[in-house]
């Protein structure tokens, strides 16, 4: 009679080291590739358009400059270029930044964003600082609601 051979059961274990290495490398990759432009844009409510022919331009080299409002007083709290904030009155810094960008990227276009609560007297010095850097054209960003072209005015 034949003997039964008993097979010894072996315990199986997984080595997850290489998989964890890949996961951490993917996390680092996605952190580096993530687009941080939304972090550059502060929360603003651009002015309404009443009698304007606005066009939307995509696929261009642009520098966005934001005028940050000071809690609905009509004054500017700061001017933000990328992640750098410039206090009001220090517009020579803005001129230097824009001229450096214009030197590095000659085809760059300037998009100027401001809140609807900011008075024009606080926007004009920013525009003067930009034109002092050698920029001949400034694109003013405004809100155009396609579903409701005549929005109610804020009081």
pLDDT at site 35? 66
Q: Is residue 153 part of a domain?
A: no
Q: Is residue 120 part of a domain?
A: yes
Checking if the pLDDT of 22 tops 90, the result is: yes
Q: Is residue 24 part of a domain?
A: no
Q: Are 130 and 112 in contact (CB under 8 A)?
A: yes
Checking if the pLDDT of 6 tops 70, the result is: yes
Q: How far apart are CA 40 and CA 152, in angstroms?
A: 28
Comparison of pLDDT for 56 and 22, the residue scoring more: 22
Q: Where are the alpha helices (DSSP H) in the chain?
A: 17-33, 37-40, 91-104, 120-132
Q: Is residue 75 part of a domain?
A: yes
pLDDT tens-place string over residues 60-73: 778 888 888 887 67
pLDDT at site 87? 86
Beta bridge partners of 110: 63, 138
pLDDT at site 146? 55
Q: Is residue 90 part of a domain?
A: yes
Checking if the pLDDT of 1 tops 80, the result is: no
Q: Is residue 88 part of a domain?
A: yes
pLDDT tens-place string over residues 25-79: 999 888 877 766 555 666 666 666 565 555 555 667 788 888 888 876 778 888 8
Q: Are 33 and 92 in contact (CB under 8 A)?
A: no
Q: Is residue 131 part of a domain?
A: yes
Q: Is residue 85 part of a domain?
A: yes
Domain count across the chain: 1
* Arithmetic mean of pLDDT, 127-149: 76
CATH of residue 55's domain is 3.30.420.270
Checking if the pLDDT of 155 tops 60, the result is: no
Question: Which domain, by its residues, includes 50?
Answer: 40-140
Beta bridge partners of 78: 68
């Amino acid at each position: 009679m034949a003997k039964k051979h008993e097979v010894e059961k072996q315990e199986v274990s997984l080595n997850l080291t290489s998989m964890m290495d890949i996961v951490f490398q993917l996390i680092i990759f996605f952190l580096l590739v993530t687009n941080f432009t939304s972090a550059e844009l502060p929360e603003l409510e651009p002015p309404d358009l009443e009698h304007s022919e606005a066009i939307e331009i995509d696929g261009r080299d642009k520098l966005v400059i934001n005028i940050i409002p000071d809690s609905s007083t009509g004054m500017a709290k700061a001017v933000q270029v990328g992640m750098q904030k410039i206090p009001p009155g220090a517009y020579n810094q803005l001129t230097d930044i824009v001229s450096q960008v214009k030197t590095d990227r000659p085809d760059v276009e300037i998009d100027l964003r401001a809140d609807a609560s900011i008075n024009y007297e606080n926007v004009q010095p920013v525009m003067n600082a930009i034109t002092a850097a050698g920029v001949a054209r400034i694109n003013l960003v405004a809100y155009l609601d396609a579903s409701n072209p005549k929005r109610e005015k804020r009081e």
